[in-house]
Structure 1
C-alpha cells in the first residue's frame, strides 16, 4: 500500500475542513466562555447551565443533524453544474430548517416542567429555568443559520460560515462580560446574562452569513430572489427523507451525552458540574473531527455526482487517516494535562466554595482520562458518518448509531454510573463503549458499501 496516495490529500482536506473546524469550534467556544464566566459564580450556577443546555443539546442535535442533508445535495449539484437543483435544495432546506427551528423552540420551552421530575438538585433547577427560556428562543436563528451554512459548505465555500461564527463569538464574549457581572453600568444578571449573550450572537451570525452570500458572485445567483413559499415537493421530500434520518443519527449520539448530564445530576451538583467541564473540553476536540466529517461529506458528495467510486474511497480514507492522527494528538494532550485543564473553570481562590470547587476539579480530571481514550473512536465514527451522508446512505447508519449508543453505551453508563459503582467515571466508560462500537460498525458499513458500488460500476462498464 502506497501511503502517499492518502497523505497527498491532507493539504486540500485541511484547506476545506479548517474553516468548518473553526466555525464549529466557534459554537463550542461560546459554551466555553459561558462555562468559564459562569463557573466563577459557583458550582450550582455551572450545574444549572449544564442542565439547561442538556435540553438544548437534544434540540440542537435534531436541527443540526437534519440540516446536514442539504450539504450532499448541494455538493452533488455543484459538481454537475446543476443550478436548478442547487436553487431548489437551498430554498427547500431553508424553509424546512426555519419551520423546524420554530418547532424545536416550542418543544424545549414547554418541556421545562420535566426538570422537576428528573430528581435534579432543586437549587440547580431554579437557576436553570430562566436561563433556558432565552436560550431556547435562540434555536430559531441557530437552525436557520445551519441551513445557510450547510448550503455554503456544499458549495465548498466553507470560509464564510467561519467568519459569521467568529463575529458571533466576539459579540457573545462582550455581552457575557457586561451582563453576567454587570460591568460598565449594565445590570448584573448572572447566568441569564449569558443567555442574552447567546441569543443576540446567534441573530448576528445568521444575518451576517445571509448578507455575505447574497453578495458573493458564486452564491448570489442561487440565494437571490427566491420565492420562499413556492416549493419543490420532490426536493422537500428528499431533504426530509435524508434529514430526518441524519437528525436521528446525531440525536442518538448527543442524547447519550445528555443522559450522562442527567445521570451525573443524580449523583449531585458537583459531579454534574464536573461532567459539564469534561463535556465542554471534549466537545472542542470533537468539533475538529466534525470539520473533517463535513469535508468528507462534501468530497464524497462531489465524487458521487461524478460516479467515481474508486476516487471517492481513496479520498474518504485519506480524511479518516488525517482524523485519526489529529485525534491521537488530542488524546495525548488530554492525558498529559487532565489534572490542570479543569482548573480553568473554577475559582480556586474562593474560600467559601473551596471544598466544592476542588471536588469538581478532581472528578473532571478523572473524566478527561476517559475522554483521552475515546478521541480516536469519536473521530473515526464521525468521519465515516460524514462519508456515508455524502453517499446519501442514511437508513443503515441510523440503525447502527442506535445500536452503538443505546444498546451498548447507555446500559454501560447506567450500570457503572451508580454511586455504589464507579459514579461519574462509570458514566463516561459507557460513552467510550458506545463511541468505540459506532466507529467499528460505521467503518464496516462504509467499506462494504463502497466496494459494492465499485463492483456494480465495473459490471455496467463490462455490459456496455
Structure 2
C-alpha cells in the first residue's frame, strides 16, 4: 500500500492525539518541575523523590492501566450508536476507579516500610517516607480522574483532560514554589512541600474535569441516573476482563523501570539521581507515543464497532508510522544534547555538593545515549498496545509484556548493572532489551490478528 494512504490519515490521528499528548506532557512536566525544584535541595532529596515515586508509580500504573479498559468499550458502543451502553460503561467505570484508587492508596501506605529493606541509602529512605505518604493519598483523585479521562477519550473528547491538567499544573508549580522553599509566610517543607502540592493539584484536577464535562450539552445525559443499586456484575466483569490485563501490561513496564531505580540506588545515590534525570527526560518524550496510543485505541475501537477491518489496518499502521517518525526526532535530540540536558536538574554552583552533582550529571549524560536508542522501541510497543486494546485483545499482549520485561529485560539489567563495570548504563541496556522485545512481539501479534480478521471478510465487503 502506498505511503500516501497512511500519511492521509495523519491529520485526524494528530487531531485526536495532540490533546492527549499535551495532557500527558502536563503530568510529566509536573514531575520534571518537581524534580528540578527538589533537585535544588540536593542529590539526596532528588533520590528520595525518585524512591518514593517508584512505589507510587507502580500503584498508579495499575490504576491507569485498569482505567484504559473504559476507552475501547465506549468507542465501540459510540460507533454502534448505543447510548445506553456508553452511559453504563461510564458509570461502572467511575465506580470501579473510585474503589481501585482507595485500594491503591491503602496498599502504598502499608508498603512504605518496605523501603528500609531495599538496600537504599538510609538518608534517602528517611526523606522518602513522609513524601510517599502524602502522594499516596493523591492516588484516589488521580485514578478517579482517569475514569473520566478514558470515558471522554472513548467519545473522542480528548481536549478535556488537557484543560484539567493545565489547571492542575499551574496550581502545582505555584504551590511547589511556596511550600518547598518557604516563600513569604508559607513554611519551608522541602520535599514534603512537593507532595502537598501534588495532592492539592490532583484534587483540583478531578473536580475541574467533572465540572467541564458535566456542563457539555452532548455529555450531560451521561451524568444522570447513577445509582449504586443499578451496578451490574455483568458490566463489572466486562470491564475487569479488559482492565486487569491492561493494568498488568502497564505494571510490568513500570515495575521494570522502577527496578532500575532500585538497582541504581543500590549502586549509590549519585547513580539513583542520574537514573531519575534520564528517566524524567525519557518519560517526557514517551508521552507523545502515549498520545498516539490513545488515538490508536479510539480509532481501532471505532473501526471494530463498524466492522471495517481494512480501514482498521490502515488506520493503525498510519499511527505506527507517525510514532516512528516522532521518536526518530527525539532520538536525535537526546544524542546531540546528552551532555547539556542533565544540567537542568542539579545545581553545579553548590560547592558543598559539587562532586556528587558532577558525578550524577556525568552518569545521566551516558544514560541518555541509551535512552536515545530505545525511543523507537518504546514508542512502537506502546502504540501497538493501544491498537491491540482497541481490538479488545489484552490477554496475550499481557503475557508478551511479562516475558519481554521480566524474562528478557530484567536479567540483563541485573547482571550488567550489578556484576559488570557498566553499572547504571548496564541497567539501561537491560531496559532497551526488554522494550525492543516487546515492540517486536506485540507488532507480530497485531499483524496476526488483523490478517485473521481480514481473511473472514469478503472482498466486496472491504
Q: TM-score, normalised by structure 2?
A: 0.99
Deviates more, 1:362-371 or 1:223-232: 223-232
Q: Distance in 2 between matches of 1:419 and 1:187?
A: 45
User: Does the aligned pair in 2 maintain the 1:327–1:375 contact within 8 Å?
Assistant: yes
Distance verdict in 2 for CA 1:228–1:211, change over 3 Å: farther
SS at match of 1:149: helix
Q: Say whether the 8 Å CA contact 1:214–1:224 is kept in structure 2.
A: no
Mapping of residues 22-421 of structure 1, within 5 Å:
22-418=22-418, 420-421=420-421
Q: Secondary structure at the match of 1:112?
A: helix
Q: 1:111-132: CA deviations, max 9, x gaps?
A: 0111111110000000000000
Query: Could you tell me how far apart the structure 1 residues matched to 2:348 and 2:191 are?
Result: 20
**Displacement of 1:229 after TM fit?**
4.7
Matches of 1:435 and 1:219 in 2, distance apart? 38
SS in 1 for 2:111: coil
Question: How far, CA to CA, are the matches of 1:417 and 1:320 in structure 2?
Answer: 32
State how far apart, in whole Å, the 2-side matches of 1:323 and 1:420 are.
Answer: 34
Report how many residues are paired. 462
RMSD over equivalenced CA pairs, Å: 1.2
Please, which moves more after superposition, 187-196 or 212-221?
212-221
Q: Matched residues in 1 for 2:206 and 2:117: separation?
A: 35
Q: State the 1:460 CA deviation.
A: 11
Deviations 1:216-263 (A, max 9, x none): 011111123422452122111000010000000000111100000000
Q: Distance in 2 between matches of 1:88 and 1:284?
A: 34
Distance 2:217 2:370 in 1: 47
Gap runs ≥5 in structure 1 = none
Deviations 1:130-165 (A, max 9, x none): 000100000000000000000000010000010000
| Higher mean displacement: 413-422 or 150-159 | 413-422
1:399 deviation in Å?
0.5
CA-CA distance at 1:191 after TM superposition: 0.3
Is residue 91–residue 228 contact of structure 1 (8 Å, CA) maintained in 2?
no
Normalised by the length of structure 1, the TM-score is 0.98
1:438 counterpart residue number: 438
Provide the rounded CA distance (Å) in 2 between the counterparts of 1:30 and 1:178: 15
CA distance in 1, matches of 2:313, 2:73: 19
Shift of 1:419: 5.6
Contact 1:289 1:382 in 2 (8 A): yes
Task: Output the CA distance in 2 between the equivalents of 1:84 and 1:352.
Answer: 63
Distance in 1 (alpha carbons) for counterparts of 2:15 and 2:260? 35
Using the TM superposition, give the Cα deviation of residue 420 of structure 1 relative to its aligned residue in structure 2, in angstroms: 3.8
- CA shift, 1:458, in A, is 2.7
Gaps of 5+ in 2: none
Residues 390-417 of structure 1 deviation map (CA, whole Å, 9 limit, x = unaligned): 0000011000000100010000000000
Do 1:267 and 1:419's aligned partners in 2 also have CA atoms closer than 8 Å?
Answer: no
Separation (CA, whole Å) in 2 of partners of 1:214 and 1:71: 18
In the alignment, the residues of structure 1 paired with residue 229 and residue 373 of structure 2 have an alpha-carbon distance, to the nearest angstrom, of 48
Structure 1 CA distance for aligned equivalents of residues 281 and 193 of structure 2: 22
CA distance in 1, matches of 2:225, 2:84: 13
Q: d(CA) in 2 for partners of 1:183 and 1:231? A: 48
Q: Is the 8 A contact 1:116 1:125 kept in 2?
A: yes
Secondary structure of the 1:418 match is: helix
Q: What's the CA shift string for 1:344-386, capped at 9, x where partnerless? A: 0000100110000000100000000000000011111000000
Q: String of CA shifts for 1:160-194, please: whole Å, max 9, x gaps.
A: 01000010000000000000000121000000000
Deviation at 1:461, TM superposition (A): 6.8
